[in-house]
Amino acid sequence: MSDVLSVALSRLSRVDGVRGALIVDAQAGVPVVSELADGVAEPAVAALAASLFRRTAKAAGAAAFGGLETLQLEAEAGHVVMAGAGELVVVVVAEADAQLGLIRLEAQRAAGSLA
Amino acid sequence: MRQVDLQPLVEALREPMRRFVREARVRIALLVNGSGQILAQHGFTRSYEVVSVAALAAAAHAAARALAQLTGQARWTHLHHAGQELQLVLAPFHTPGEELILVAIFDEDSSLGLVQLYLERLAGEVGQLPQFQRVLAFTDAAGFERELEAGLRSFFASELGSG
Amino acid sequence: MSNPTAGEIQRWSEELARDPASPAFLPLAKAYRRQGHWEAALRLCLRGLERHPSNVEAHALLARLYLESGELEKACDEWGIMLRLEGDNFEAHRGMGFFYLEHGDFEAARAHLDRSAAQRPDDPAVREALALLRERQSLAGGTRTGSAAALAPPPASGATPAPAAPGAVDPARVFEPLLAEAPFRGALIVDGRGLVLAGTLAVGGSDPGAPLGASAEAMGAILGGAIEEAQRTAENLALGAWRGMLMETQQATVHLAPLHEDMIVLLAARRDTPAGWVLRTAARAAALADGFLGGKT
């Protein structure tokens, strides 16, 4: 399993504009494995991204949108892309001008390989 | 045990604790010293016996510290118990004056990660308070009981007042 | 009517607690509605009507509550009761006019709207309804066309505005320019309290007019927590202000973006819609929302 995680992360980390990628325990909000650039706070990314994903998933369910599969947060200085994989969430922190299409694809692929 | 007037301390801790509870989305947070004395609490509900929780937290802290020493670990970071609906975290942190223990009880609205994240901020803020800048005096057990009672009365009064 | 004070609300609540037959249920239910507590307002109104079945104002409030939740048939029942109690009631005639217009019964719609217009010829909602009636009647056979359906969103959207809503811009039609886009399933403007200001939504199932599991009104409240979390995440990770959130769920692709003054615009599209289309259309929706809000202020 750890090989699968590592491979998934290293593919993601190689994409242009990615500052870091983590696989996070969705319920606990703690990182399982990560590859982050300097200056990216691993515990904060894990806790906040997992919380955002969980809360949005709950809202999506309540709103009858069905299960949440991917979530993308857009902000002034960057993006956070998340893809659900059962009890895990693949989290990618990217620059504002990153290749989002590729990142989303790789995040979904990583989630698919974990689920 | 603390031999100081608790009221200024209660006042000083109120806002950091309130913020912690709001940001970490925990149901209840207690700040306890090594003797089991409650220094602050927020999110109190009558379903919890805070005095017992505080005493047990101090005991658990002492046991965990002893275990850490026996196994060659300098310190322990936190104890986490995940129940069916509720989770409990006991996390010690240092101030210049004394070591404190945060007791946080939370449900699915929060997570261990969020508690840890905002605990760091809480510890930083509490460590800056003037009341925790020096090693504090100790008193006897009877004095502790009196202070505990007085402290709890203040907490409950403030909770009722803010409700 | 100015917003009731907390003191007034407390006084009405106490009156009702003392005397369940008190007429205070009506101002209290109105206050709850204004505060967005739809369920509480509905319960109070229904309970009050058990004791005051001939209170026309209470039936009018109940009709409005049903209308706002998309339950047009129930609203129509209430207007019917109002007309039995007070044959010339303006609001009931106007409501019935809209109901029949929506159901394609143009003759009945004309009769009710004419009676409303006779009482208040300058009422903008009545004038708009009459214009719509003329437009629809001029269409071949008087059947509902695509454009007519677009002008009148399905009751299940839950965001259907009350006929009494004044103003030049119909809140239900703000996002009309996007209706031609096939993946588009609706858009809403939601304020900081989770209340829907404008727009319609129809996400459930494959039929664009299919009812939604949660009403549009509920949507704002439900998504409030996620929006708060998005803001917090962006700020805490030093990413600056949040600009949007794209959710891909089993049923839909949904985009949320902040507008000014704590308002957000929600765009819903079919699940299989490309993300790029959603982002571009979300920007158009935001511009339409800005235009609407700018026009209103």
C137 lies within 8 A of chain A by CB: no
The arrangement of strands across the sheet holding B79-82 comes to: B38-42, B28-33, B99-106, B87-94, B79-82
Average pLDDT over residues B91-103: 89
Q: Read off the pLDDT of residues C127-155 as tens digits, 9 standing for 90 and up.
A: 878 887 887 777 634 333 322 222 233 33
Cβ–Cβ under 8 Å, residues B93 and B67: no
Does B72 map to a domain?
yes
Find all residues with CB under 8 Å of C178, minimum gap 6, and list them.
Answer: C184, C187, C281, C284, C285, C288
* pLDDT score of A2: 66
Rounded to whole angstroms, the Cα distance separating C150 from C174 reads 11
SS3 C211: coil
Domain range holding B149?
6-162
- The mean predicted confidence, pLDDT, of chain A is 91
CB B102 within 8 A of CB B89: yes
CA C287 to chain centre: 20
Q: How far is CA C23 from CA B88, B110, C52, C92, C181, in A?
A: 49, 44, 8, 21, 49
CA distance linking residue C175 with residue A81, whole number of Å: 28
Q: Could you tell me the domains of chain C?
A: 6-148 (1.25.40.10), 159-296 (3.30.450.30)
B126: its two tokens: 């509490």
Q: Is residue B54 part of a domain?
A: yes
Per DSSP, helices labelled H in B3-140 are 6-24, 50-70, 112-128
- The ranges of chain C with pLDDT < 70 are 1-2, 139-168, 203-218, 220-221, 295-297
Confidence of residue B45 (pLDDT cuts 50, 70, 90): low
Average pLDDT, integer, range B14-39: 89
CB pairs under 8 A between A and B: 34
pLDDT value of residue C296: 53
Identify the residue with better confidence: A57 or C69. A57
Query: Which whole number is the average pLDDT over A107-112?
Result: 92
Give me the domains of chain A, ranges plus CATH numbers: 2-114 (3.30.450.30)
Mean pLDDT confidence for B56-84: 84
Q: How many domains does chain B have?
A: 1
User: What residues have CB less than 8 Å from C248, skipping those under 6 apart?
Assistant: A68, A69, A70, A71, C271, C275
Q: Does B150 touch chain A (CB under 8 A)?
A: no
Is residue A4's pLDDT more than 50? yes
Residue type, A97: D
Nearest-Cα residue of chain C relative to residue A81: C246
Quote the pLDDT of residue A104.
92
| Interface contact B111-A51, CB threshold 8 A | yes
Q: How far is A50 from chain B (nearest CA, A)?
A: 9
Distance from C-alpha of C257 to C-alpha of C261, rounded to nearest angstrom: 12
CATH number of the domain where residue B60 is located: 3.30.450.30
Selecting from A65, A70, A71 the residue whose C-beta is nearest the C-beta of C252 gives A65
Q: Which residue, among A24, A73, A102, would best test binding to C if mutated, counting the most C CBs under 10 Å from its CB?
A: A73
SS3 assignment, position B103 = strand
User: How far away is chain C from the Cα of A71, in angstroms, using its nearest Cα?
Assistant: 5
Contact (CB<8Å) A30/B112:
yes
Determine, yes or no, domain membership for B1.
no
